[in-house]
Amino acid sequence: MKKLFPFVIVILLNGCAGTRQIKTAAGSLKDTYKKDFLIGAAISWRQVEEKDPVARELVPRQFNTVTPENLMKEMELTSAWGTYDFSRADRFVDFAKANHLQVNGHTLVWHSQMPDFARRIQSADSFRTFFTDHIRKVAGHYSGKVQSWDVVNEALNEDGTLRSSPFLNKLGANYIVDAFKLTQEVAPNTALYYNDYNNEQPKKRAGCMALIKKIQQAGVRIDGVGIQGHWHVGKLPFKDIEESILQYAALGIKVAITELDIEVLPRNFTGADVSRRMNVGAGSDPYANGLPETVQKQLADDYGQLFALLLRHKDKISRVTFWGVHDGQSWLNNWPIAGRTSYPLLFDRKGNPKSAFYSVIKAKKK
């Protein structure tokens, strides 16, 4: 339909509640940015099963790429040596295909979600066999079905040194190069990314740059770097983000914002180390009954400024993926404190666009 107005008044019959809702909605995210970069979301199993009516409407309408929030992690695919269950991850790939969505595979090598049997492996040789077999099996199974992989996730410390993990401790510092080499052998047409949080911060960025150069100098393919983008409202490091895009792109690779959300709840640390927790205190969950307009506006301003920045460098950006479809799905409702009410994304719990959504659309119209 020819866009006569930037906003289209749409009368939608909400199949679930059987009630008419009149929503004003600008054009979709994917259509607004279709000449710039892919726009995606992390999808849960419940959403693959189409048991989330809000996501069922939003995903095909707003996004052109999806990432499995958990379904392709090591412990989701295998719980015993040589035994794999791809059924749920295959359902995810089928869901993406049915909805004309590209797929970013997440993630082949991550210390945080290893199956118990692998974590218990003592000998380095046996561990290398697990590591090699896992990558070949999973990346081979999805070769031609996923467009990109987060090959290795969160291998760095905040100071840019390699994180102590079973992979580093048993395989040595070259394990990351090995992971990319193994993946490229079985998935020759899949874009290969290194993914991390806070790697827009100077020290961690330096370590990430060194990692990327090491892979390249080994003659192994790396196509991009993922900056996860788990940021905090009113505190987005815009200068670091822009400098990082420029520095990573200068290495001849693409940059993706892979897990974008903007936390509005109080937290006494940054980053996304899922192993961290925070004690419940007075004021831990200040917005259980709704987000104040002042915070809603700051969130909108932050998202608008971020997308204006990304548009300035759209030639370097391959994809922007939100870490969830709507606020009700977000991991931030349960981390680092369980049972809070957060509002980090562009759509509210009922699937209504927030002012942040309109700021992202408006950033393109400028």
Judged by beta carbon, residue 147 or residue 153, the one nearer ligand G3I is 153
CA distance 188 to 173: 24
- Which of 69, 74, 154, 263 is catalytic? The answer is 154
Any contact of residue 348 with ligand G3I (CB under 6 A)?
A: no
> Could you give the string, one character per residue 144-163, with x where binding to ligand G3I holds by CB under 6 A and - elsewhere?
---------x----------
CB of 274 to ligand G3I, least distance (A): 4
Is 154 in the active site?
Answer: yes
Q: Which residue, judged by CB position, is nearest to ligand G3I in the bound state?
A: 331
Q: Which residue, 32 or 195, has its beta carbon nearer to ligand G3I?
A: 195
x-or-dash string of contact with ligand G3I, 14-53, rule CB under 6 A = ----------------------------------------
Query: H or E element: which one contains 40?
Result: strand 38-43
Measured CA to CA, the distance from residue 363 to residue 361 in angstroms comes to 5
Please state the length of the chain: 366
What residues from 72 to 101 belong to the interface with ligand G3I (CB under 6 A)?
A: 73
259 binds ligand G3I (CB under 6 A): yes
Nearer to ligand G3I, 274 or 311 (CB): 274
> Strand, helix or coil at 103?
strand
Alpha carbons 225 and 199: distance in angstroms, whole number: 9
At 186, list the tokens.
């079985």
- Nearer to ligand G3I by Cβ, of 331 and 343: the residue is 331
- Specify whether the CB–CB gap between 38 and 32 falls below 8 A: no
Could you tell me the two tokens for 316? Answer: 């370097």
- Report the residue from 14, 102, 113, 284 that binds ligand G3I according to the rule CB under 6 A: 113
Q: Give CA–CA dist 362/292, Å, rounded.
A: 22
Near ligand G3I in 58-77, by CB under 6 A: 69-70, 73
Burial (CB count <10 Å: 0-12, 13-18, 19+), residue 151: buried
> For the chain, what is the total number of helices (H) and then of strands (E)?
13, 13
Told to check if 272 binds ligand G3I by CB under 6 A, we report yes
Cα torsion 329, 334, 335, 341: sign: positive
Contacts with 127 (C-beta within 8 Å, 6 or more apart), sequence order: 118, 121, 166, 170, 171
Cα separation values, 234 from 96, 245, 327, 331, Å = 34, 20, 18, 20
- Which DSSP category does 192 fall into? E
Work out how close the CB of 25 gets to ligand G3I at its nearest, in angstroms, rounded to a whole number. Answer: 26
Is 74 among the residues known to form the active site?
no
Residue 223 is a binding residue for ligand G3I (CB under 6 A): no
Query: Least distance (Å) from ligand G3I to the CB of residue 228?
Result: 6
If one asks whether residue 263 binds ligand G3I (CB under 6 A), the answer comes out as no
> CA-to-CA distance for 132 and 178, rounded, in angstroms?
9
Per rule CB under 6 A, is residue 248 in the interface with ligand G3I? Answer: no
69, 74, 200, 259: the active-site residue: 259
Per CB under 6 A, the list member of 228, 296, 333, 341 interacting with ligand G3I is 228
**Cβ at position 71, least distance to ligand G3I in Å:** 9
Residue 242 beta carbon to ligand G3I: minimum distance, rounded to whole angstroms: 22
Q: By CB under 6 A, name the binding residues for ligand G3I.
A: 69-70, 73, 113, 153, 228, 259, 272, 274, 331
Report, as residue numbers or ranges, the catalytic residues: 154, 259
